[in-house]
Structure 1
Amino acid sequence: MTHIAVIGAGQAGASLVAKLRKSGFDGDITLIGAEDVLPYQRPPLSKAYLLGEMELERLFLRPQSFYVENNITLRLGTKVDSIDADAKTIHIGDEVISYDQLALTTGSHPRRLPATIGGDLDGVHVVRDLGDVDAMAPSVSEGARTLIVGGGYIGLEAAAVCAKRGVSVTLVEMADRILQRVAAPETSDYFRTLHRSHGVDIREGVGLNHLEGEDGKVTRAVLSDGSMIEVDFVVVGVGIAPASELADATGLEIENGIRTDAHGRTSIASIWAAGDCASFPFKGQRIRLESVPNAIDQAEVVAENMLGAQKTYVATPWFWSDQYDVKLQIAGLNSGYDNVVTRQGAEGAVSFWYYTGDQLVAVDAMNDPRAYMVAKRLIEAGKTADKTIVANPDADLKPLLKA
């Protein structure tokens, strides 16, 4: 009987094994995960779960019974030591597991501060998995003081949660503005104003020099401009890196993650990859998408292709971020944009439409789901939107879909 093994029990891994069964695969399936809990959703970790508004069980993507009923073997709390691609075996300590096909859905790792600047002190946290958030939760209490390093979406979401809990928050971003790598100045301005209205001290063009501590616990941050901040804990949000070490050691081609073709197959025919760890062809370039929708969609296509479907994965990039009472929805990729059109919505809603010349390529919509959905459908269809209509808050957007 055919055996498909999947290493990485996050959103992509869980989606892949479920799709295998839904597609009629009746062979053996083993899902191997490093964490000792059932596969769970990550976005609520740093928001509803950290705020105490969501119980652990509600994080789980599926209950234990799903895996039992679908004859999926779960190997949780298990670290894979190596893969022998020639022998088609997985090595876990002295145990050897044979496979016919293998999928790597190993996700990504948070970038950490080096120990040389105090990154190994107690009270220095990253926000990536359940253990990270459980470790940080006791510190997030009213009256505490925190420094958040990094003004991307991870850092801003952490700032919002901490501010809501009554923590005194200072956020530093070494670039000229927050969100500089991922968003237009208009979006940066919007979120800077939002956070400052909630008392967050945002310092742009300022980095962290080093952390200081007492008895092994962080107590002070020295910034690149020489200023010092007394802190009770630190949150590091300086991005993530693909978890491709195992793939690299196996001999797979690596290019900003595990290199795959349009079907999700790696450089070794019996091994596939999906999710945060995988880079794939997209509109003449090679990209890696760090999002839940990509993890699900790509994993499901890979599952079908492992069964012989030969489907091309066509990514439809979209993302979201929740900060305070603002829901940011993003569609498309804004790389290469050269102009932005602002559309004001009702009751403070706003959207920023990115263009390359006259071609719509992406949108950032704040509390404006209607504008977001129209823009998303246009982008996915390869259409554009008349800028004068977009800029007119009284104009109906729906006719753009029929143009």
Structure 2
Amino acid sequence: MSTGTAGTAGDSGDGRPVVIVGASLGGAKAAEALREAGYRGGIVLIGDEHERPYERPPLSKGYLLGKTPREKIYVHPPQWYAEHDVTLRLGTAVVAVDPAAHTVRLADDGRIEYAKLLLTTGSVPRRLPVPGAEQDGVLYLRRVEDSDRIKAALRPGVRVVVIGAGWIGLETAAAARTAGAEVTVLEAAELPLLRVLGREVAQVFADLHRDHGVELRFEVRVEELTGEGGRVTGVRLADGATVPADVVVVGIGIAPDTALAEAAGLTVDNGIKTDEHLRTSDPDVYAAGDVANAYHPLFGRHLRVEHWANALNQPQTAARAMLGEDAAYDRVPYFFTDAEWTPRHPNEPVASRDQLSMEYLGYVEPDGYDRVVFRGDVKANEFIAFWLKDGRVLAGMNMNIWDVTDPIRELIVSKRVVNADRLANPNVPLGEV
């Protein structure tokens, strides 16, 4: 393997590699970005999963529905790593980082020195803290094997209870309905996605799922998962009611996997805190993806975004910064979701009321906006929603309408005051509001 310092794109230096902990989308994209930038030194990509790096969005979308074949979820073909001189160590857990010695320690007590270190350790599902939560039939969705287990459980007539009405919960609920299961979603808040979307748009998602046979129960608290013979049979609520269940899918959020960073003495605050270059409190350690709470120049604050786009794009900035470039991550936050309820013939068109294809750009706190403007046909699920504060667009969400992300992004970045009536009028081009 060629050697080189992480501070140059050449192959001179002390021979220590760039080490990436987390063989995920973010880790794989960082390795790719280093090579594309001309870095010829060693790259070691370490992951505790046995699968080579793959993308997670299909796990609750196409792959879960059986529409996306397994080989399509991987970031690179298997030969890519050898062809690009990337040492891929799978099924290998990193148990400690020593910034002073510039080493990572593995579970087998082996040690690897690094010139620069990138942490793409991602996040872990929050566990349900109630009695009975460890029974068979209680499932979480994070890894590909989790998606396999849920997919195998989704059959016609099966009673599926989803705890949590976030993105994972709602996407899983839609997949379960498409498979013919009976689905109940339990949520502690008043509406699904309330913290993310606010009441006005959250109600749209509630109506959409109810229209397709998903039973939604809001403002409920789970007390216990009942069972028989070690397998879950129901969900008992605080009001004493029990919801029968053959399968329970828990989707109550994720937590950044910061254990290594904390033990190494890095600054951790709702994730690993970084500057706009994705550099942590140690100058030779970087973080990207779900785990990074990065300073965002556009918003003037630290943001931790738990979505695919950050794992896809942040590693490019981290790679360039590790190579000494003045690279800053300033992309507008972006995420998307897809769901489809009704099985149909492949050649039959999908009605907008039977699908949910959505993109969201921007960032807004739950109480950080003073108005939502809708543009289009909300009842037909073909519209754009804009969150405004003092006449400025903070975020935009397009549902079943395409090729509008660029003008939405421009409205957010420009920070200009817009005319709300023109913004709502689909006959007025977005660039002219």
- Find 2:414's aligned residue among 381, 384, 388: 381
Change (3 A) 1:284 1:30: same
Report what 1:327 is aligned to.
Answer: 357
The alignment status of 1:221 with 2:235, answered yes or no, reads yes
Against the structure 1 CA distance between its residues 19 and 384, is the aligned structure 2 distance closer, same or farther, given a 3 Å change threshold?
Answer: farther
C-alpha root-mean-square deviation of aligned residues, in Å? 1.5
| Separation in 2, partners of 1:148, 1:384 | 41
Say whether the 8 Å CA contact 1:146–1:231 is kept in structure 2: yes
User: 2:325 aligned with 1:309, yes or no?
Assistant: yes
1:235 to 231, 234, 249: 249
Amino acid at match of 2:128: L
How far off is 1:275 after superposition? Answer: 0.7
Return the offset for 1:313: 1.6
Q: 1:298 aligns with which of 314, 324, 334?
A: 314
**Partner of residue 31, structure 1:** 45
Q: Deviations over 1:93-139 (max 9, x none)?
A: 2211111111100001111112x422111111111111211222221
Cα drift, residue 384 of structure 1? 4.4
Q: Determine if the alignment matches structure 1 residue 105 to structure 2 residue 137.
A: no
Distance 2:275 2:359 in 1: 28
What residue identity is the alignment partner of 2:419? D
Counterparts of 1:343-358 in structure 2, within 5 Å, are 343-345=375-377, 348-358=381-391
CA distance in 2, matches of 1:254, 1:89: 20
Q: State the match for 2:351 in structure 1.
A: none
Pairs within 5 Å for 1:332-343: 332-335=362-365, 336-343=368-375
Determine the structure 1 residue equivalent to 2:343. none
Conserved 8 A contact 1:345-1:393: no
SS at structure 2 position matched to 1:117:
coil
C-alpha deviation, 1:371, in angstroms: 4.5
Q: CA deviation at 1:158?
A: 0.8
CA deviations 1:286-317 (Å, max 9, x no partner) are 11011111112211101001000021221311
Contact 1:345/1:368 (CA < 8 Å) preserved in 2? no
The one-character-per-residue Cα deviations of 1:301-339 (angstroms, maximum 9, x if unpaired) are: 010010000212213111111122111111101221111
CA distance in 1 between partners of 2:234 and 2:85 (Å): 51
> 1:3-402 to 2 correspondence within 5 Å?
3-92=17-106, 93-114=108-129, 116-282=130-296, 283-324=299-340, 325-335=355-365, 336-345=368-377, 348-400=381-433
After TM superposition, give the deviation of residue 348 of structure 1 in Å: 4.2
Shift of 1:277: 0.3
Q: How many residues align?
A: 399
TM-score norm. by structure 2 comes to: 0.89
Letter of the aligned partner of 1:148 in structure 2? V
User: Offset at 1:31?
Assistant: 0.2
Aligned residue identity for 1:118: G
Q: TM-score under structure 1 normalisation?
A: 0.96
Q: Distance in 1 between matches of 2:101 and 2:381?
A: 60
- Deviation at residue 162 of structure 1 after TM alignment: 0.5
Letter of the 2:219 partner, please give it.
G
CA spacing shift, 1:61–1:342, aligned 2, 3 Å: same
Give, in whole Å, the separation in 2 of the partners of 1:365 and 1:384.
20
- One-letter identity of the residue aligned with 1:287: L
What SS is found at the alignment partner of 1:184?
A: helix
CA distance in 2, matches of 1:385, 1:14: 40
CA distance in 2, matches of 1:193, 1:313: 36
Structure 2, unaligned runs of 5 or more: 1-14, 341-354
The farther-off stretch of 97-106 and 361-370 is 361-370
Q: Which amino acid aligns with 1:159?
A: A
Q: Is the 8 A contact 1:186 1:352 kept in 2?
A: no
Which residue type is aligned with residue 290 of structure 1? E
Q: Which runs of 5+ in 1 are unaligned?
A: none
Residue 324 of structure 2 aligns to which amino acid in structure 1? G
| Alpha-carbon contact 2:390-2:417 (below 8 Å) kept | no
Write the letter of the residue equivalent to 1:106.
Answer: T
Q: SS where residue 388 of structure 1 aligns?
A: helix
The letter for the 2-side match of 1:208 is: V
Report % sequence identity. Answer: 39
Quick one: distance in 2 between partners of 1:302 and 1:212?
A: 46
Whether the 8 Å CA contact 1:187–1:364 is kept in 2: the answer is no
Counterparts of 2:317 and 2:40, CA distance in 1: 18
Instruction: Give the stretch that moved more between structures: 326-335 or 15-24.
Output: 326-335
Distance in 1 of aligned mates of 2:324 and 2:405: 35
**What's the offset of the Cα at 1:207?**
2.3
The amino acid across from 1:357 in the alignment is D
